[in-house]
Amino acid sequence: MAASPSMTDPHPLDAMYEPLAVAVRRLVDFTIRTEADGAAVLAATRLVNETSELLGVALMPGSFGVRTAPDGRVGVLGNVVIGTRNPVAPPLVVHHEADGRVWAEFVLGAQYEGSAGHVHGGICALILDHVLGATAHQPGRPAYTGTLTLRYVRGTRLGALRAEARVDRVDGVKTFAVGEIYDAEGVTVTAEGVFVRPKVQAP
């Protein structure tokens, strides 16, 4: 399980690549929903392959990982939930309230579909894992997912959604968090998670 990042609000750590990710998200959506003719699809395939060749001339080894900006802020732009450089991410912008509650409003389109017209349940789990982790995480004290239990109240339709989370209680190294996903009609999924703060390793 991934640790909750230390910062979830976007920032211009690598802003020149963000428009590329936005364009690829649009491409993915259009790839799913297109009804263009065969010639257009073949031409698009050629252009996509050419684009891949352009980008592939200089690749970092492995994943994006965690980068630190010159101002000291930590960026997780490759993160599958909040990464502005990751076309798979919606991406979420997680807001932190003074009382410890966190929330995010976002839109999930065709690329997140499970059953017809609905968000795949695994995507709901992914989002709730991240949002609950964001409220369990404290600066300098990362919290890793121990367990995550979901209840699917009803189908989550594609479109505009909101996720919220808050800490229920803390017991030693364990933080217990709860949260929900909402659509315009109310709660669609609820979650309870246990997030564990790792022991400090001896030098």
- Model pLDDT for residues 129-168, shown as the tens digit of each residue: 999 999 998 777 788 999 999 999 999 999 999 999 999 9
Domains of the chain: 1-203 (3.10.129.10)
Q: Are strands 67-68 and 74-75 parallel, antiparallel or unpaired?
A: antiparallel
Q: What is the pLDDT of residues 20-50, one digit of tens each?
A: 999 999 999 999 999 999 999 999 999 999 9
Distance CA 109, CA 85 (A): 18
178 Cβ neighbours under 8 A, 6+ residues apart: 132, 165, 166, 168, 190, 191, 192, 193
